[in-house]
Structure 1
Amino acid sequence: MPESLASATHHVRPARATDDDALAALDGDTWSPLHAVTPRKAPPYGPFFHERNAPEDVLVAQDGEPGGADGAVLGYVKLVSPTPLPCNQHVRQIQGLAVARAARGRGVGRALVRAACEEARRQGAVRITLRVLGHNAPARALYEAEGFVVEGVLPGEFLLEGAYVDDVCMGRPLD
Structure 2
Amino acid sequence: MSQSQIRPAVRDDDEALGELDRETWSPLHAVYPRPRPPYEPFFDSGHRPEEHLVAEIGDRLVGYVRIGRPTPLACNTHVRQIQGLAVRESARGHGVGRALLRAAALHARNQGARRLTLRVLGHNVPARRLYEAEGFAVEGVLPGEFLLEGEYVDDVLMGRSLLA
Q: Same fold (TM over 0.5)?
A: yes
1:45 aligns with 2:33: no
2:90 aligned residue? 102
Q: Map 1:25-40; keep pairs closer than 5 Å.
A: 25-40=19-34
The amino acid that maps onto 2:49 is P
Query: How many equivalent pairs are there?
Result: 163
**Alignment partner, residue 68 of structure 1:** none
Whichever residue aligns with residue 10 of structure 1, its letter is S
Out of 9, 12, 28, the position equivalent to 2:6 is 12
* 1:101-144 C-alpha deviation (Å, 9 max, x unpaired): 11101100000000000000000000000000000000000000
| 1:57-110 per-position Cα deviation (integer Å, ceiling 9, x unaligned) | 00000113xxxxxx1100000001111100000000000000001110110000
Which aligned runs of 4 or more in structure 1 are off by greater than 6 angstroms? none
**CA distance change for structure 1 residues 29 and 44 in 2, over 3 Å: closer, same or farther?**
farther
- 2:53 counterpart SS class: strand
Identity, in percent, stands at 67
Equivalent in 58, 61, 64 of residue 76 of structure 1? 64
Q: CA offset at residue 43 of structure 1?
A: 4.4
Please report the TM-score for the alignment, with normalisation by the length of structure 1.
0.91
Equivalent AA in structure 1 for residue 7 of structure 2: R
1:122 maps to amino acid: N
Superposition TM-score, scaled by structure 2 size: 0.97
Unaligned runs of 5+ in 2: none
